[in-house]
Chains A and B, each alone.
Chain A
Amino acid sequence: MMTTDSTLHIRDLRAAIGDTEILKGVSLTIAPGETHAVMGPNGSGKSTLANVIMGHPAYEVTGGEVIFRGQNLVDLDPEERAALGVFMAFQYPVAVPGVTVANFLKAAVDARRPEDDKVKASAFLKELREYVAFLDIDPAFINRSLNDGFSGGEKKRMEILQMLMLKPTMGIMDETDSGLDIDALQVVAKGVNRLAGPELGLLVITHYERILRYIVPDRVHIFMDGQVVMSGGQEVVQELEAKGYDWVREQLGQGVAAPV
């Protein structure tokens, strides 16, 4: 049997909304066990990158490829990407009124199992309750409508709960740390680290250094105007915190004028 390569290879990925190109040739390689951080100014295309990897239908992929486990994700439906082990924690999780957290997660867990081997309700609930406790979530949330009326922080915890239940091998976290108080941040980090290991590749999109103290990146990429413009180790984070994006632009020889 051929060994499937669980490294995520993003090669010259381009994507557009209508006539506007947003991703302008992104290349990144994330091996299992590696954590990559992506930082970049507002509107630079970080969420677009995450959404395109996951298969959001609003974006048209105009070039490049995303290879994972022997397949080009670009050709697959979002549910097929999920089945391969890709997971995205949304920057803005979506509310689904009338669908309880438990029912939704049961459907998601069952979706990746064969028709004749659906998870037993008792086993499912046991696991769900364990993670709910682990993430300091009020157990009452299990029977609430998914993300409906949840606070920002509650939604982010819910994303991590889903991640724990679905056990991806490639996790993309789009600003999961934004808007979290310090306790919640630690809870989120604890959740992610519970899943972390030699199998899991992680792409952590963030604006802040603080989360990277808990989820320590192997590589840091700076994203600007739809491209990776700089990559390095953890030292990049410190420099960025200290000097801001103008420092990056200077490095790139673009001058310090604000981009139009």
Chain B
Amino acid sequence: MAILETDSKLVQEYQHGFTTEIEEDRAPDGLNEDIIRFISAKKQEPEWLLEWRLKAFRWWQKMPEPRWAHLRIDPIDYQAICYYAAPRKRGEAEGEIDPELARTFEKLGIPIEERNALAGVAVDAVFDSVSVATTHRKILEEKGIIFCSISEAVRNHPELVRKYLGTVVPLSDNYFASLNSAVFTDGSFCYIPRGVRCPVELSTYFRINALNTGQFERTLIVAEPGSYVSYLEGCTAPQRDQNQLHAAVVELIALDDAEIKYSTIQNWYAGDKDGKGGIYNFVTKRGLCQGRRSKISWTQVEAGSAITWKYPGCVLAGEGSVGEFYSVAFTNHRMQADTGTKMVHLAPHTRSTIISKGISAGESCNSYRGLVQIAPEAHHSRNHSACDSMLVGDRCSANTFPYIEAENHTSIVEHEATTSKISEEQLFYLRSRGIPESDAASLVVKGFCRDVFKTLPMEFSVEAVKLLELKLEGSIG
């Protein structure tokens, strides 16, 4: 009896697949120095930033596209992409939001108007290439916290941006990071002053709307000594037949005793069940634990995108600093994911933890790739990694590629990996108690992901569970 049919009756419809009719301001397609000058001019950027972009562009032109990931990627025509699309403002008054845009974010369940903002969560919303709204400004200002779009930060806090931009992910870091450095359009900037515990979750929602555009956001978070911040990003895109490129860069800097918690719920459009369309999610995320005893935690729930290619990592440069990576990656249909982390231990007594849960269904392919590097000076350091894969059905695949480079003898690196099929015995046990098969499967999968979900802030852990349930509905039954 076949109890697990992956390509079942229904294909779970992508709920965020609508488009918004909105007037937009667009650059001509293609990429050259003039386009970069156009973007920089649109954003009224200082000269140094334009120069930085051009340097990245020239670097990028000399680089080959990387090919090492376990992915099948259709060639990307970088000249066919639009690098800047902005909704044209209708309400001109300060802080007024185009009602059409506000409705789009409402539909996504993200209130961006101050009067119905989520309690305890400050939201910055990025629509195509620009940030459209930031809520909870007042509370944040009182504490001296800066939370705004990166374009705004360039205008209002140029000294901070200049000091930190590109220090964690240099403009020459990798192909997609260089591309991003050349053309990034928006993203968030957060600055938490010394000793301040940010009283609300900071959250950014990204939405790609315009046809044929790339989204290249750039996020920079700086936590001064003794500060704490929890940041969350969420993302969706309309359903389109063509692939769209999303190449973001995120840089985090934690100084002495500072802590940054960065959570992602990624639900970009994944393409249809035959693999047509969907977002290419090629992202570079890195945190620098520069200060002593600083801590950076990444939690990611990767549930969308045709192809996900990302390795949020931590550079543990401060003595006694801590890096964490918690990941759930779900793939279905023809989706592909090659994701994991890099933990680079540079200082003594540094610790890192990696918990990765990969779930593959349909004909998808889900790979964990992780690097744990312990430098000679990083004595008495420690890493623990646990990478578990679960297969739903028998046409999907899961891989684990752990790389360990330990260069001293006082450090301990532990790695565990398991691959299992969703178990018939577990399903039967739950079903014998009256729980229908699809609910039983969803319980088993949620249980499998629990160690990761529990690291998410409360509100978002509920959201993550719902998202996973929705995704599973189409794959089991």
Decide if B429 touches A93 in the complex (CB within 8 Å).
yes
Decide if B432 touches A107 in the complex (CB within 8 Å).
no
Decide if A99 touches B443 in the complex (CB within 8 Å).
yes
Decide if B435 touches A108 in the complex (CB within 8 Å).
yes
Q: Which A residues lie within 8 Å of B437 (CB)?
A: 77, 79
Q: A146-186 toward B: CB 8 Å interface, digit per residue (1/0)?
A: 00000000000000001000100000000000000000000
Within 8 A of A (CB), among B426-445: 426, 428-437, 439-440, 443-444
Decide if B434 touches A98 in the complex (CB within 8 Å).
no
Q: Decide yes or no whether A57 CB sits under 8 A from chain B.
A: yes
CA distance A90 to B3 in the complex (A): 20
State the Cβ distance, A45 to closest chain B Cβ, in Å. Answer: 18
Q: Which B residues lie within 8 Å of A94 (CB)?
A: 423, 425-426, 428-429
Which residue of A88, A99, A103, A112 is within 8 Å of B432 (Cβ)?
A: A88
Given A94-B426, A111-B439, the answer on whether A54 and B432 have CB atoms closer than 8 Å is yes
State the Cβ distance, B5 to closest chain A Cβ, in Å. Answer: 13
State the Cβ distance, B418 to closest chain A Cβ, in Å. Answer: 11
Q: B282-297 toward A: CB 8 Å interface, digit per residue (1/0)?
A: 0000000000000000
Decide if A98 touches B449 in the complex (CB within 8 Å).
yes
Q: Decide yes or no whether B448 CB sits under 8 A from chain A.
A: yes
Given A96-B426, A99-B447, A145-B447, the answer on whether A166 and B3 have CB atoms closer than 8 Å is no
Decide if A112 touches B434 in the complex (CB within 8 Å).
yes
The chain B residue sitting closest to A86, CB to CB, is: B432
Decide if A78 touches B447 in the complex (CB within 8 Å).
no
Q: Decide yes or no whether B451 CB sits under 8 A from chain A.
A: yes
Decide if A79 touches B429 in the complex (CB within 8 Å).
no
Q: Decide yes or no whether B93 CB sits under 8 A from chain A.
A: no
Q: Decide yes or no whether A83 CB sits under 8 A from chain B.
A: yes
Q: Decide yes or no whether A17 CB sits under 8 A from chain B.
A: no
Q: Decide yes or no whether B119 CB sits under 8 A from chain A.
A: no
Q: Decide yes or no whether A126 CB sits under 8 A from chain B.
A: no
Q: B401-435 toward A: CB 8 Å interface, digit per residue (1/0)?
A: 00000000000000000000001111011111111
Main secondary structure of the interface of B (DSSP, over half): helix
Q: Decide yes or no whether B458 CB sits under 8 A from chain A.
A: no
Q: Give chain A's interface residue range (CB within 8 Å of chain B).
A: 20 to 34
CA distance A111 to B434 in the complex (A): 6
State the Cβ distance, B263 to closest chain A Cβ, in Å. Answer: 19
Decide if A166 touches B434 in the complex (CB within 8 Å).
yes
Q: Decide yes or no whether A244 CB sits under 8 A from chain B.
A: no
Given A79-B436, A108-B434, A111-B435, the answer on whether A98 and B428 have CB atoms closer than 8 Å is no
State the Cβ distance, A128 to closest chain B Cβ, in Å. Answer: 14
Q: Which B residues lie within 8 Å of A83 (CB)?
A: 434
CA distance A55 to B238 in the complex (A): 43
Q: Which A residues lie within 8 Å of B16 (CB)?
A: none
Q: By CB atoms of chain A within 10 A, which of B1, B429, B434, B435 has the most?
A: B434
Q: Decide yes or no whether A104 CB sits under 8 A from chain B.
A: yes
CA distance A60 to B211 in the complex (A): 53
Decide if A57 touches B439 in the complex (CB within 8 Å).
no
Q: Decide yes or no whether A37 CB sits under 8 A from chain B.
A: no
Q: Decide yes or no whether A43 CB sits under 8 A from chain B.
A: no
Q: Which B residues lie within 8 Å of A162 (CB)?
A: 433
Q: Which B residues lie within 8 Å of A112 (CB)?
A: 434
CA distance A183 to B450 in the complex (A): 34
Decide if B3 touches A57 in the complex (CB within 8 Å).
yes
CA distance A93 to B426 in the complex (A): 9
Q: Decide yes or no whether A22 CB sits under 8 A from chain B.
A: no
The chain B residue sitting closest to A109, CB to CB, is: B434
Q: Decide yes or no whether B89 CB sits under 8 A from chain A.
A: no
State the Cβ distance, A147 to closest chain B Cβ, in Å. Answer: 9
Q: Decide yes or no whether A56 CB sits under 8 A from chain B.
A: yes
Q: By CB atoms of chain A within 10 A, which of B3, B432, B439, B443 has the most?
A: B432
Decide if B431 touches A98 in the complex (CB within 8 Å).
no
Q: Decide yes or no whether A228 CB sits under 8 A from chain B.
A: no
Within 8 A of B (CB), among A68-102: 77-79, 81-83, 87-88, 90, 93-99
Q: Which B residues lie within 8 Å of A54 (CB)?
A: 428, 432
Q: By CB atoms of chain B within 10 A, which of A77, A88, A107 has the most?
A: A107
CA distance A111 to B444 in the complex (A): 16
Q: Which A residues lie within 8 Å of B443 (CB)?
A: 96, 99, 103-104, 107
Which residue of A77, A87, A93, A97 is within 8 Å of B431 (Cβ)?
A: A77
Q: Which A residues lie within 8 Å of B26 (CB)?
A: none
Decide if B426 touches A98 in the complex (CB within 8 Å).
no
Q: A109-131 toward B: CB 8 Å interface, digit per residue (1/0)?
A: 00110000000000000000000
CA distance A121 to B59 in the complex (A): 59
Q: Decide yes or no whether A58 CB sits under 8 A from chain B.
A: yes
Q: Which A residues lie within 8 Å of B433 (CB)?
A: 82, 87, 104, 108, 111, 162, 166
Q: Which A residues lie within 8 Å of B430 (CB)?
A: 96, 104, 107-108
State the Cβ distance, A249 to closest chain B Cβ, in Å. Answer: 33
Decide if B449 touches A78 in the complex (CB within 8 Å).
no
CA distance A103 to B433 in the complex (A): 13
Q: By CB atoms of chain A within 10 A, which of B423, B440, B446, B448 has the most?
A: B440
Q: Which B residues lie within 8 Å of A82 (CB)?
A: 431-434
CA distance A96 to B450 in the complex (A): 11
Decide if A96 touches B429 in the complex (CB within 8 Å).
yes
Decide if A107 touches B439 in the complex (CB within 8 Å).
yes
Decide if A55 touches B432 in the complex (CB within 8 Å).
yes
Decide if A78 touches B450 in the complex (CB within 8 Å).
no
Given A56-B428, A104-B430, the answer on whether A98 and B435 have CB atoms closer than 8 Å is no
New contact pairs (11) apart from A82-B434, A98-B446, A108-B430, CB-CB < 8 Å: A55-B432, A57-B424, A79-B437, A82-B432, A83-B434, A94-B426, A96-B444, A98-B447, A98-B451, A99-B447, A111-B435
Listed A/B pairs (23) with beta-carbon separation below 8 Å: A55-B428, A55-B431, A57-B424, A79-B432, A79-B434, A79-B435, A79-B437, A81-B432, A82-B433, A88-B432, A94-B429, A98-B449, A99-B450, A103-B443, A104-B430, A107-B439, A108-B430, A108-B433, A108-B434, A111-B433, A145-B447, A162-B433, A166-B433
Q: Which residues of B contact A (CB under 8 A)?
A: 1, 3, 423-426, 428-437, 439-440, 443-444, 446-451
Question: 10 shortest A-B CB distances, which residue pairs?
Answer: A98-B447, A98-B450, A82-B434, A99-B447, A94-B429, A108-B433, A78-B431, A111-B434, A57-B1, A79-B431
